[in-house]
Amino acid sequence: MSETLSRPPAETADEVLYEAADGVAVITLNRPERMNTISGPMLAQLTELLLKANADREVRAVILTGSGRAFCAGLDLVDATQGSGIGSEAQASAPSVNLDLRNTPPTVLFAMDKPTICALNGAAAGYGMDTALGCDIRIMGESAKLAAAFVKRGVVPESGGTWFLPRLIGWSKAAELIFTGRTLTAAQSLEMGLANEVVPDAELMSRARAIAAEIAANAPLAVQSAKRLMRMGLEETFNDHVHHVFLQFLQLARTQDFREGMTSFLEKRPAQFKGR
């Protein structure tokens, strides 16, 4: 697959970057002078690019990362305190009827069929931490941190943290982390189960790309079905879930990729999956 680059509108150009090659899309938060803090236009652009990656048949895995020394330091508090932007008084006083979270990064990220890898190149605080938790896999550079500083700013984990954390690390650890607003080092995040791996900063993207390539080499329909089933299983009984798994298996058994997987195994060669 040839490399492509998405060009957003001029007023937010270069604040979120997109490239795709060899079955892997890389989405980069690119506002390093503000530690990749999120503005309203960035939210819309990030949503657009996540949807783009999910809809592209050539993309089999997505890496989300940041430029500069931070992954994402949360919402842009400078804009908010100056009366504009997310969390400002003007927005808080707007009629609640205008609130629509269906097409925002947290809900779009959760609903994506494509596997997502967060390559944490630096601090992830507030909204940035929630966004990282919304990815399927988290790889952290040694200098990266997870800062659950919500209550220190007078808010709650507004973008999924209260849902993800109890499921990832259990109620008691999630309660301790959220109620104290504690900041975790990469090593502490790994020990707590919030990171899959911690690598030297210089090796972060190469490691994330290696995992993405390993995913991309597998049958994409099967990988995406597995992710959907995992998501469904969070809310289902076991008996209901195994029925859904069997129905999904029957669908996959009719695909070209299923036949290729069986044939390549018998012929002792790498499979060449087409997503069909």
Q: What distance in Å separates the CA atoms of residue 231 and residue 244, rounded to the nearest whole number?
A: 12
Provide the pLDDT confidence category of residue 94 given band limits of 50, 70 and 90. Answer: low
Answer yes or no: are the C-beta atoms of 75 and 127 closer than 8 Å: yes
Identify the weakest region by mean pLDDT among 10-14, 94-98, 220-224, 242-246. Answer: 94-98
- The reported pLDDT for the residue numbered 1 is 40
d(CA 141, CA 199): 5
Cβ–Cβ under 8 Å, residues 212 and 24: yes
How far does the chain reach from its first CA to its final CA, in angstroms?
A: 17
- Tokens encoding 130: 């929630």
pLDDT at 158: 77
Tell me: pLDDT of 78 over 70. no
Per-chain mean pLDDT for the chain: 88
Domain assignments of the chain as residue spans, ordered by start:
4-216, 220-266
| 219 CB-contact burial (10 Å; exposed 0-12 / middle 13-18 / buried 19+) | buried
Answer whether CATH 3.90.226.10 is correct for domain 4-216. Answer: yes
Query: What backbone torsions phi and psi does residue 95 show, to the nearest 5 degrees?
Result: -60, 135
Tens digits of residue pLDDT in 182-216? 999 999 999 999 999 999 999 999 999 999 999 99
Within a 13 Å sphere around the CA of 243, how many CA atoms are in the beta-carbon half?
Answer: 5
pLDDT exceeds 70 at position 242: yes
Lowest mean pLDDT: which of 81-90, 97-106, 223-232, 235-244?
Answer: 81-90
Q: How many residues does the chain have?
A: 276
pLDDT given at position 100 = 63
**pLDDT of 98:** 53
